[in-house]
């Protein structure tokens, strides 16, 4: 048994010698500390107080313990924490004591059951955090059913191989879309995941709009805000389109159709349908970056905030263009300035810009 410390919380745990795995008696993944910190920052950046929060796949309970310690006073009215593993509730109660957490203003509901009935047997939530092993699919319908008006669903997906097209048949089966296994695969995967979750929402007339979405390390993470209304849902569905990509000239566009020819004469490869709207709300993400108390997340949050200023689907990768035009790429910072672009979370050599691929290629000649 070792005692791990993560921000405000310490936990006694048996950690495996190699990688963490689903069979651990109490599941804890140190690599997900960033995922948890960003969820705390997001909730503390919202102006709303008195939230009802669900953490139905709690693992060690570390996220909820951190919520209780690190969310601002008055944030949590009710916290519902659950995990299917035997002994979860007694473990969680012990950790409350160990970490000297008193529940003055918060009602705590503990469960040791399946996440779906746990959610469905309760009233609506302002925030539901779905953080499973692999795909979130089995839990999406219950989360969509139980999220309140203006509530936020926070979803992790660690089945990156399915979303990025290592196994295209898995993408079709699980995410109802065609992947794109190129340098653009992480953004395409994220947008496929967003659409998949949005379709769970529209069946309840709930429109899920991205507040923050990202890909990091081995996982995808999205925060979607629910608003109610058939018209709002129609607007969501209208933004589910195909992403067309030409593997010859690297041109791209969004389209309602998946069978088109590029101006260079080659047939476009298609991905999707996927979400073609913004990946997040720029002012909110900027506020998060400005409020961030976690130094280890600063670089990533500043990148997300800067990237959110440019709302385009896809990005240009200098190395990919260099290979095509057979020239060394210019310095990223220089070209970013010239095309009024921004860096992207999806590639260290990528640029998001509204300027066309041809205009960027011109920059390779002007040196």
How far, in Å, CA of 343 to CA of 200, rounded? 31
- Residue number closest to ligand SAM, CB atom: 59
Task: Candidates 114, 205, 251, 363: give the one binding Zn ion (CB under 5 A).
Answer: 251
> In the stretch 129-168, what mask flags binding to ligand SAM with x, by CB under 6 A?
--xxx-----------------------------------
Contacts for 18 with CB less than 8 Å, ≥ 6 apart = none
* Binding flag, residue 57, ligand SAM (CB under 6 A): yes
Contacts for 73 with CB less than 8 Å, ≥ 6 apart = 105
CB of 110 to ligand SAM, least distance (A): 13
Q: In the sheet that 269-275 helps form, which strands lie side by side, from edge to edge?
A: 252-255, 240-245, 269-275
How far, in Å, CA of 304 to CA of 186, rounded? 15
* Binding flag, residue 51, ligand SAM (CB under 6 A): no
Task: Candidates 84, 303, 322, 355: give the one binding ligand SAM (CB under 6 A).
Answer: 84
Total residues binding Zn ion (CB under 5 A): 7
How far, in Å, CA of 142 to CA of 148, rounded? 12
Interface region with ligand SAM, contact rule CB under 6 A, candidates 77-85, 190-198, 253-261, 327-335: 77-85
251, 264 Cβ separation under 8 angstroms: yes
* Binding flag, residue 115, ligand SAM (CB under 6 A): yes
From ligand SAM, Zn ion, none, interface partner of 249 (C-beta below 5 to 8 A by class): Zn ion
Residue list 274-333, contact with ligand SAM (CB under 6 A): none
How far, in Å, CA of 288 to CA of 46, rounded? 9
Task: Candidates 13, 40, 59, 202: give the one binding ligand SAM (CB under 6 A).
Answer: 59
For Zn ion, the closer CB: 50 or 267: 267
147, 79 Cβ separation under 8 angstroms: no
Total residues binding ligand SAM (CB under 6 A): 18
For ligand SAM, the closer CB: 132 or 179: 132
For ligand SAM, the closer CB: 220 or 245: 220
Task: Candidates 27, 91, 208, 346: give the one binding ligand SAM (CB under 6 A).
Answer: 27
236, 249 Cβ separation under 8 angstroms: no
Peptide bond into 273 cis (omega under 30): yes
Residue 286 in tokens: 């900027």
47, 74 Cβ separation under 8 angstroms: no
Neighbours of 270 (CB within 10 A): 18
Task: Candidates 110, 246, 288, 351: give the one binding Zn ion (CB under 5 A).
Answer: 246
From ligand SAM, Zn ion, none, interface partner of 245 (C-beta below 5 to 8 A by class): none
For Zn ion, the closer CB: 69 or 324: 324
- Residues 157, 163, 166, 170: is their CA dihedral positive or negative? positive
Interface region with ligand SAM, contact rule CB under 6 A, candidates 79-87, 265-273, 315-323, 333-341: 79-87
The CA-based angle 66-112-125, given to 5 degrees, is 60
Lookup result for tokens 């916290």: 79
Task: Candidates 15, 24, 145, 249: give the one binding Zn ion (CB under 5 A).
Answer: 249
How far, in Å, CA of 116 to CA of 283, rounded? 34
For Zn ion, the closer CB: 237 or 264: 264
Interface region with ligand SAM, contact rule CB under 6 A, candidates 55-63, 141-149, 216-224, 350-358: 55-63
* Binding flag, residue 262, Zn ion (CB under 5 A): yes
Residue 239 in tokens: 């933004």
Contacts for 292 with CB less than 8 Å, ≥ 6 apart = 41, 298, 301
CB of 198 to ligand SAM, least distance (A): 22
Chain positions contacting Zn ion, by CB under 5 A: 246, 248-249, 251, 262, 264, 266
Chain positions contacting ligand SAM, by CB under 6 A: 27-28, 32, 36, 57-60, 62-63, 83-85, 114-115, 131-133
């Amino acid at each position: 048994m070792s005692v791990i410390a993560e921000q405000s919380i310490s936990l006694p745990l048996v950690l495996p010698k190699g990688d963490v795995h689903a069979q651990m008696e109490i599941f804890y993944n140190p690599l997900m500390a960033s995922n948890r910190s960003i969820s705390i920052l997001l909730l503390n950046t919202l102006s709303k107080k008195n939230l009802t929060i669900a953490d139905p796949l709690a693992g060690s309970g570390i996220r909820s313990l951190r919520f209780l310690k690190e969310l601002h006073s008055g944030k949590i009215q009710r916290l519902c924490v659950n995990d299917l593993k035997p002994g979860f509730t007694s473990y969680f109660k012990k950790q409350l004591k160990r970490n000297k957490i008193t529940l003055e203003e918060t009602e705590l509901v503990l469960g040791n059951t399946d996440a779906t009935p746990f959610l469905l047997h309760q009233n609506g939530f302002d925030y539901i955090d779905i953080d499973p092993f692999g795909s979130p699919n089995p839990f999406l319908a219950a989360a969509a059913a139980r999220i309140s008006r203006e509530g936020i669903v926070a979803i992790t997906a660690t089945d990156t191989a399915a979303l990025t097209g290592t196994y295209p048949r898995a993408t079709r089966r699980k995410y109802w879309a065609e992947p794109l296994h190129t340098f653009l695969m992480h953004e395409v995967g994220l947008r496929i995941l967003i659409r998949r979750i949005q379709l769970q929402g529209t069946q309840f007339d709930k429109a899920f709009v991205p507040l923050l979405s990202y890909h990091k390390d081995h996982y995808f993470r999205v925060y979607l805000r629910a608003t109610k209304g058939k018209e709002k849902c129609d607007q969501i569905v209208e933004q589910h389109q195909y992403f067309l990509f030409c593997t010859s000239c690297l041109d791209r566009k969004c389209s309602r159709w998946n069978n088109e020819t590029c101006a260079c004469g080659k047939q476009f490869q298609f991905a999707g349908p996927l979400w073609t709207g913004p990946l997040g709300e720029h002012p909110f993400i900027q506020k998060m970056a400005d409020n961030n108390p976690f130094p280890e997340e600063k670089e990533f949050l500043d990148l997300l905030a800067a990237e959110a200023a440019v709302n385009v689907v896809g990005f240009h990768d200098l190395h990919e263009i260099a290979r095509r035009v057979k020239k060394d790429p210019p310095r990223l910072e220089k070209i970013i300035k010239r095309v009024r672009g921004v860096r992207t979370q999806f590639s260290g050599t990528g640029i998001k810009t509204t300027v066309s691929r041809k205009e960027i290629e011109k920059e390779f000649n002007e040196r």
